[in-house]
A = this chain, B = another copy of it.
Amino acid sequence: MSIVTLLTDFGLYDQYVAAVKGVILQIAPKVTIVDVTHQVAPHNVLQAAFVLRQVFDCFPAETVHVAVVDPGVGMVRPIIAARYSGQFIIAPDNGLVSLVHRDFVLEELRAVQNPMLFRKNISASFHGRDILAPVAGHVARTGRITEVGPATDKLALLNLPTAAVAADGRIRGQILYIDHFGNALTNIERADLERAARRRSGLSVKVGEQQVPIHQVYGQVPAGTPVALVGSANTLEIAVNQGSAARQLGLTAGQDVTVE
């Protein structure tokens, strides 16, 4: 009884996700399939990498994560199968694993090349259904990636923005992700904040021209008021209590943030 997760930019309007699920179930009928999201912005690999990292440690050992966000479908770019800290990822080799790679242990890496595992007819535009799905079904059923193809050490990784702590204790970071509540998730870690807090008290966040106080929970400020806190990703998050920080403060992914 194993688990396969799906992370794509296929949306929920078409039948593409269902086609992938059907092919997985043809091969591994007892698998439990979980949708991570299918609403990654089309071809946005960084967003997909972030989302994959966020859910990764919520799943049990041997979970098979299939991620298909792939501007290069049909072109000559490899598909990889990796084992990180006991879980599997199957994805195009375009940097999708970058944040998991940063935070977990790479135990095995293979190029997906064994055509015996693919669907009989491979379309030019739907490798998710024709290659990744049947390979995922196989990995879920066997619990290993040994058969998918040869070991490799080539792995595309994204150039990730990282937060920097200055000598005076200021932390400079970036917004990585805006969620559907309008909360802005940054790359500033709890540990850096705690170190900074030991030097200075009354820390606040500066984003654009706006100064936002840091608290423990949303509800420590009145409804409609901006607040920053260490969020569920264990990083600094900018929110508005019962409102949308993205709309109210005009925040976007990529924007600079300073803690001072």
Cβ-defined contact, B75 with A123, below 8 A: no
Cβ-defined contact, B18 with A37, below 8 A: yes
Minimal beta-carbon separation of A219 from chain B (angstroms): 4
Minimal beta-carbon separation of A1 from chain B (angstroms): 6
Chain A: residues with Cβ within 8 Å of the partner, total of 66
Let me know if A194 is at the binding interface, CB within 8 A. Answer: no
Q: How far apart sit A30 and B239, CA to CA, in the bound complex (Å)?
A: 36
Let me know if A224 is at the binding interface, CB within 8 A. Answer: no
Minimal beta-carbon separation of A131 from chain B (angstroms): 12
Let me know if A88 is at the binding interface, CB within 8 A. Answer: no
Asked, given contacts A18-B35, A37-B14, whether A124 binds B59 with beta carbons under 8 Å apart, the answer is no
List 7 A-B pairs, minimum CB-CB distance, nearest first.
Answer: A74-B217, A22-B58, A126-B232, A11-B180, A75-B219, A22-B59, A13-B180
Beyond the given A14-B51, A75-B219, please list 19 additional residue pairs across the A-B interface where CB-CB is below 8 A: A3-B25, A10-B180, A12-B39, A13-B37, A13-B39, A14-B179, A16-B179, A18-B34, A18-B37, A18-B58, A19-B232, A21-B34, A42-B242, A73-B217, A121-B234, A123-B231, A124-B229, A124-B231, A125-B229
